[in-house]
Amino acid sequence: MQTINTLLEQDRHHVWHPYSITQSEIPVYLVKSAQGVTITLMDGTTLIDGMSSWWSAVHGYNHPRLNQAIEQQLHNMAHIMFGGLTHQAAIELAQLLVDITPAPLQTVFFSDSGSVAVEVAMKMAIQYWHAKKQTNKKRLLTLRHGYHGDTFGAMSVSDPDNGMHSLFNNSLLQQLFADAPNCGFYDACTIEDITPLTHQLKNHHQEIAAVILEPIVQGAGGMRFYSPDYLRQVRELCNEYNVLLILDEIATGFGRTGKLFACEHANIAPDILCLGKALTGGYMTLAATLATDEIADNIRQGEPGLFMHGPTFMANPLACATALASVKLLLESPWQDKVKNIATLLQQGLNPCQQYEHVKEVRVLGAIGVIELHQAINLQSLQPKFVEAGVWVRPFNKLIYLMPPFIITDQELDLLITAVVKVVAEM
């Protein structure tokens, strides 16, 4: 068996990690196993997971019910092409997603990842207007500080200046951007908040296919929370100016904000909805793009009479079976109470960080806790401190944030929060 050091050295020389380079000095840690909310490293170190594997592992790791779903599906088939064929797991999952999302959404397109779900949504919007003989409506309008994925279409609607993809700006489709609102989650939306988006719609609606945004929480673009009142007004403006509304709930879907879907805070429905991450409970990669019958009908009636997208691994049976089990597991659990309790403990536990001069703000919404600093973080030096403290937290830019699995116990959450506060205090 290869030693830990040998494996890590091979990793360092040959493996690319997210937003990293080969031979990086930022440490990576070799994982042996994961159970519940505990990650066990190869050297025996145990870490309480504060990230849910980037929002996705809401049920924790190695859940027996999800394991069983994979095992049962595996006995039938691991994969089958979705062109001309279908299977029970995909059909039942699609029906369940239609049942639990806002009523106008009636059709489901499965894809491999959140970024691709956004690409699909953008193509749906453009093809919808093409079918209606309004081919000039092909640009997207979005908010600054947003993030929608790493593929080229998704990058084009992510923050063009301060986002992770600014160096590609000259190669991307040129979309339209409006300043993000400054109204916090509990604030009313002022005229100053909504004016930038209104201005763009008023001046460019004839060329805008859709507005795309992350409802209530802007994730990787800054972990910013904004008012449901703003989202309600966005829906009204889209109706007024005859543009579609795409909501990217890849990060916020399945309970993370305290509602099953973040758009429920505003009691609105999009024309197109993107889901991913927690869809499979973090077990496998799967995403879904839901649309209204009106969009599907128009695309069918237009040229070329079909939607022009089709991933090889679309509706993978293993992923669909796992997602079906994961969503049912969530709906059958007291997830609202769990998220509310996590929010209370995060607020109480992280608040002391507000006293530190290097901390700009502490904010909590649902099972999301954010400590925003004044200065960017040195990940190379900070990451090991969290590991030494027995927790797995992955900061970025100026943010230290927590999004633990919903199954975390009060004791585990207390240990996680205590470790984070201690590291922040020592910075």
Per-residue pLDDT tens over the stretch 320-347: 999 999 999 999 999 999 999 999 999 9
Q: Give how many domains the chain has, as a whole number.
A: 1
Indicate whether 416 belongs to any domain. Answer: no
Is this prediction's pTM over 0.85? yes
Indicate whether 170 belongs to any domain. Answer: yes
pLDDT at residue 42 in the model: 97
**pLDDT at residue 164 is higher than 80:** no
> Which of 105, 97, 90, 98 minimizes the C-alpha distance to 246?
105
Alpha-carbon gap, residue 272 to 9, rounded angstroms: 44
Which sequence positions are flagged as catalytic?
Answer: 19, 147, 248, 277
Alpha-carbon gap, residue 394 to 321, rounded angstroms: 30
**pLDDT at residue 288 is higher than 80:** yes
Indicate whether 33 belongs to any domain. Answer: no
Cis status, amide bond into 304, omega within 30 of 0: yes
Alpha-carbon gap, residue 98 to 103, rounded angstroms: 7
pLDDT at residue 161 in the model: 84
The confidence band for 260, taking pLDDT boundaries of 50, 70 and 90, is: very high
Model pLDDT for residues 349-366, shown as the tens digit of each residue: 999 999 999 999 999 999
Q: What is the mean pLDDT of residues 132-154?
A: 96
Indicate whether 285 belongs to any domain. Answer: yes
Alpha-carbon gap, residue 70 to 381, rounded angstroms: 39
Give me the domain span that covers residue 261. 66-332
**pLDDT at residue 19 is higher than 80:** yes
Cross-sheet strand order for the sheet of 399-402? 359-365, 368-373, 399-402
pLDDT at residue 168 in the model: 87
Indicate whether 57 belongs to any domain. Answer: no
Alpha-carbon gap, residue 404 to 415, rounded angstroms: 12
Indicate whether 173 belongs to any domain. Answer: yes
Mode of pairing for the β-strands spanning 46-49 and 38-41: antiparallel
Q: 141 with 178: CB under 8 angstroms?
A: yes
Alpha-carbon gap, residue 349 to 344, rounded angstroms: 8
pLDDT at residue 163 in the model: 73
CB-based burial of residue 336 (10 Å sphere; 0-12 exposed, 13-18 middle, 19+ buried)? middle
Q: 210 with 143: CB under 8 angstroms?
A: no
List the structure tokens of 153: 């279409």
Alpha-carbon gap, residue 197 to 159, rounded angstroms: 15
Indicate whether 215 belongs to any domain. Answer: yes
Work out the percent of the chain whose per-residue pLDDT is above 90: 95
Indicate whether 127 belongs to any domain. Answer: yes
pLDDT at residue 305 in the model: 93
**pLDDT at residue 375 is higher than 80:** yes
226 Cβ contact list (under 8 Å, min separation 6)? 180, 181, 183, 184, 185, 216, 217, 218
Work out the percent of the chain whose per-residue pLDDT is above 70: 100
CATH of residue 291's domain is: 3.40.640.10
CB-based burial of residue 301 (10 Å sphere; 0-12 exposed, 13-18 middle, 19+ buried)? exposed
Q: 283 with 64: CB under 8 angstroms?
A: no
pLDDT at residue 1 in the model: 61
